[in-house]
């Protein structure tokens, strides 16, 4: 697949929000978030999903949202522009894994990528999908980030989790712990630092202060508990420092996140999934935003799953969706 390039023209709308797995809470939290938008914000928003599913979700959520075909939207924000992507083989059972729901979630993301590449939207915001449903539909991706990399032809991608309290960017994510140790290479560490530095310079308007976590206990104690710090992480940090990036490390994982949460660093580079996810979800579970970096399209997401156990009961909390949308608008406004 030939890598796609982000559009150079000003997007038609700032953001496009996918509905996620239609059997989960995605449609509900989307409708709640859209209902709270101002008219000007709605005018800069495109929703991508099934019309009937979204109308029902608005009723379940107890909000009033008027969806209108994108080509008919007048830009006033009185109605929300909708790119209708129908659910195949509907209707679906609420709160249950199904291939049809997984396929619907995939098609919405695929359409969002097309919109972003064509200049229709500036940033993609994704509601949660279910990996089991995705695989049941024969869409063998490890989640949104891997799917977006495949759809855009990107050679690699990076997962940033960000909140007001802490931000962490991962060297590896959805792989086994054994495989994660082999992915902490000099090149990958350097690339992760570079990607985080570029992104935060745009969003914050200044050079960020970055810390890199070690992989082993106490950063390996000079090789006693492993040589990854000596052979890969320290050289990767040095390579980034040689480019003028404000980065230090490796710093032991049992202290670096505490120091960052106290304001010493803007970003921590974590070596594997749980090393970065646990601290940020502990201190900012409801407000953490998942951001995909290293792709030719921009994307934010909620940092939670489909919550099948409470789906379609009017109980879903849309706080995280609000945060994902707010961060997407910051990204849309930041210079390229």
CATH number of residue 276's parent domain:
3.40.718.10
The structural domain count of the chain equals 2
Instruction: Kindly state whether residues 21 and 45 are assigned to the same domain.
Output: yes
- Whole-number Cα distances in Å, 246 to 194, 209, 210, 268: 10, 5, 6, 12
Instruction: Kindly state whether residues 285 and 187 are assigned to the same domain.
Output: yes
Q: Which residues span the domain enclosing 302?
A: 1-157+294-336
Instruction: Kindly state whether residues 195 and 67 are assigned to the same domain.
Output: no
CB atoms within 10 A of CB 333: 12
Instruction: Kindly state whether residues 99 and 187 are assigned to the same domain.
Output: no
Instruction: Kindly state whether residues 118 and 180 are assigned to the same domain.
Output: no
Instruction: Kindly state whether residues 165 and 287 are assigned to the same domain.
Output: yes
**17 token code pair:** 């929000």
- The predicted model scores a pTM of 0.89
Instruction: Kindly state whether residues 143 and 175 are assigned to the same domain.
Output: no
pLDDT tens over the chain, length 336 residues = 333 444 445 678 899 999 999 999 999 999 999 999 999 999 999 999 999 999 999 999 999 999 988 887 777 778 899 999 999 886 789 999 999 999 999 999 999 999 999 999 999 999 999 999 999 999 998 888 889 999 999 988 899 999 999 999 999 988 899 999 999 999 999 999 999 999 999 999 999 999 999 999 999 889 989 999 999 999 999 999 999 999 999 999 999 999 999 999 999 999 999 999 999 999 998 899 999 999 999 999 998 999 999 999 999 999 999 999 999 999 998 887
């Amino acid at each position: 697949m030939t890598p796609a390039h982000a559009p150079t023209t000003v997007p038609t709308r700032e953001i496009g929000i996918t509905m996620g797995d239609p059997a989960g809470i995605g449609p509900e939290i989307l409708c709640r978030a859209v209902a709270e938008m101002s008219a000007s914000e709605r005018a800069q928003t495109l929703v991508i999903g099934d019309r009937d599913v979204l109308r029902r979700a608005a009723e379940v959520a107890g909000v009033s949202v008027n969806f209108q075909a994108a080509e008919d939207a007048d830009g006033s924000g009185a109605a929300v522009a909708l790119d209708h992507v129908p659910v195949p083989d509907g209707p679906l059972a609420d709160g249950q894994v199904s291939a049809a729901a997984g396929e619907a979630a995939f098609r919405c993301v695929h359409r969002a990528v097309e919109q972003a590449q064509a200049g229709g939207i500036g940033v993609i915001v994704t509601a949660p999908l279910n990996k089991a449903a995705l695989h049941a539909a024969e869409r063998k991706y490890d989640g949104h980030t891997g799917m977006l990399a495949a759809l855009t032809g990107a050679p690699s991608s990076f997962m940033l989790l960000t909140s007001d309290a802490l931000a962490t960017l991962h060297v590896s994510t959805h792989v086994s712990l054994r495989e994660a140790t082999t992915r902490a290479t000099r090149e990958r560490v350097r690339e992760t630092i570079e990607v985080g530095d570029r992104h935060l310079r745009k969003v914050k308007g200044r050079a960020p202060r970055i810390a890199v976590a070690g992989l082993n206990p106490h950063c390996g104690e000079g090789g006693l508990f492993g040589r990854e710090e000596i052979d890969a992480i320290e050289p990767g940090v040095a390579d980034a420092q040689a480019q003028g990036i404000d980065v230090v490390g490796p710093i032991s994982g049992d202290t670096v996140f505490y120091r960052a949460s106290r304001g010493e660093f803007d970003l921590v580079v974590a070596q594997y999934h749980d090393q970065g996810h646990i601290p940020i979800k502990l201190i900012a579970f409801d407000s953490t935003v998942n951001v995909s970096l290293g792709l030719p399209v921009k994307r934010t997401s909620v940092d939670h799953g489909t919550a099948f156990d409470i789906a379609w009961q009017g109980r879903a909390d849309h706080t995280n969706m609000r945060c994902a949308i707010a961060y997407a608008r910051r990204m849309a406004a930041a210079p390229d």
